[in-house]
Structure 1
């Protein structure tokens, strides 16, 4: 397994995801979204698994500021996400081509 956890250090669900993999002695790489955002390729890989709208945190402070509630174009939403990682739902967990958004131990348990 090649696990990557994208999130923030303050996010409770991200901490729970890290604990999940630590307890099972599964190595993972943590990427702090405040320091490094997802690349275009990483975002399209995750988007293919979970869908664009599931990546957007409608409760984020910047959600309304960026007018994400009014934008219909997936391309524009994708650009906004690439430039504003604080709008992602976290954690984003990747295992190669597989990905989840949020705390999903029931899915991670099926990964090999």
Structure 2
């Protein structure tokens, strides 16, 4: 099975996901979208799979640093544009395995996925 995990290397949640994957001997490819940028097609696919509200990280520092104008009247199109402009706004990790996309880290969710 082909597994790709997208996120930011120094994120604590990412570190938990890496540890879990390693402990369960799941081979994966890591894409650090803070360094490489994020492909708009990925944002579109992820939003289609989980919804833009799930993908958008409103709890992080990047969201808090946005201006009131940027946060006001948010809709799907504006959210996608912001996530493309500021990849740190994407909730981490995004795990893509075959046709399944999971956002965020939950040991229980990952365990269900591999079983």
Instruction: Give the structure with the higher percent helix.
Output: 2
User: What interval of TM-score do these two structures reach, taking the shorter chain for normalisation?
Assistant: 0.7 to 0.9
Moved over 6 A (4+): none
Residues 7 and 100 of structure 1: is their aligned pair in 2 closer, same or farther, counting only changes over 3 Å?
A: same
| Unaligned residue ranges in structure 1 (runs of 5+) | none
SS in 2 for 1:80: helix
Q: Is 1:104 aligned with 2:106?
A: yes
Query: Contact 1:50–1:99 (CA<8 Å) still a contact in 2?
Result: yes
2 CA distance for matches of 1:71 and 1:31?
Answer: 31
Could you report, residue by residue, the CA deviation over 1:37-58 in whole angstroms, capped at 9, with x for unpaired residues?
3312221221122210111111
TM-score norm. by structure 2 comes to: 0.83
SS in 1 for 2:35: coil
2 CA distance for matches of 1:63 and 1:47?
Answer: 18
Range moving further from structure 2, 57-66 or 96-105: 57-66
Could you report, residue by residue, the CA deviation over 1:42-80 in whole angstroms, capped at 9, with x for unpaired residues?
212211222101111112233241545313321121111
How many residues matched? 112
CA-based RMSD of the aligned residues comes to 1.9
Could you report, residue by residue, the CA deviation over 1:24-45 in whole angstroms, capped at 9, with x for unpaired residues?
2111011112112331222122
Query: Contact 1:46–1:98 (CA<8 Å) still a contact in 2?
Result: no
